[in-house]
Amino acid sequence: MTHFLDIHKTDPADLRNMLDQAGAMKTARAGMPKGTPDADQPLANHMVALIFEKPSTRTRVSFDLGVRQMGGQTMVLSGSEMQLGHGETIADTARVLSRYVDLIMIRTFEEDVLLELAEHASIPVINGLTNRSHPCQIMADVMTYEEHRGPIKGKKVVWCGDGNNVFASFAHAAGQFGFDLTFAGPEVLDPEQVFIDEARAKGVTVEIDRNPERAVEGADLVVTDTWISMHDSQTARERRHNLLRPYQVDEHLMSHANPDALFMHCLPAHRNEEATDGVMDGPHSVIFDEAENRLHAQKAIMRWCLGV
């Protein structure tokens, strides 16, 4: 079964083919109204279940629109509607949905839910996000970088902030696409060592640097993410702000990167916290290209999963 569960679990040649196809589909749609169907309708007669245990804007809209543009139909299900794993088992839910739909995208909390769903489904499953990784986002990020600056192989990417699920997928991508990665953040928020080790095992440089100005020297891409989760308590939020404030991406920090360095943030952002308005709206920023490319990258991922 052709699941898309994590970048490091997918062959690099397949990843490259997805990005090539995403770029071709984006180019073919240039200037068209958003609701215009693609000339090619590869998902005609296909039904896609979009499961959201976690709220979403970009993931929901981009997947839903992508399916429709390619001629398919969607069924959007929330965690409260399904109570996944709290009544019927996840394994049985996977077997039932496999009888109804052709593809499942799930945005959930625990990675185990994703893995169990994929294990028991007889249709492809796509990881729309878990607490440990966010592969669709990073496929869009690599696509965005290469649109603006050419091949990402051999470039230096610097992550500022929390070693979270988005960083984990950047580490997976570093190994598969061949770019170097530096994490700049407080020790208490370091990424899991396994993510670093897996990337290093594939021959790329992955470093940790507590000095953000030194970390971004020579950077081709600087990336950050929100410091807080919607589920954090007020006390937790204040603690994280105190820990992460030295790693805010501001104009001064970006001046230490390469002059043509790009800035990315997967959004939603808490402006003037993890990054300043001056950076987010400045000449280095490609955050809205990055958001748009979720649509095109995910369309290519769905086509790869379904073999269409």
Dump pLDDT digits (tens) for 16-35: 999 999 999 999 999 999 99
> Out of 225, 265, 303, 305, which one is annotated catalytic?
225
Active-site residue, 6 included? no
Dump pLDDT digits (tens) for 242-254: 999 999 999 999 9
> pTM for the whole thing?
0.97
| pLDDT of 87 higher than 90 | no
Dump pLDDT digits (tens) for 204-253: 999 999 999 999 999 999 999 999 875 667 788 889 999 999 999 999 99
Q: What b/e sequence results for 97-111 when a residue is b if at least 16 CB atoms lie within 10 Å of its CB, and e otherwise?
A: bbeebbbbbbbbbeb
Active-site residue, 107 included? yes
Active-site residue, 134 included? yes
Q: Average pLDDT in the 274-297 region?
A: 98
> Out of 240, 294, 296, 303, which one is annotated catalytic?
294
Q: From CA 112, how far away is CA 150, in angstroms rounded?
A: 36
Active-site residue, 225 included? yes
Q: From CA 107, how far away is CA 130, in angstroms rounded?
A: 6
Q: From CA 79, how far away is CA 93, in angstroms rounded?
A: 12
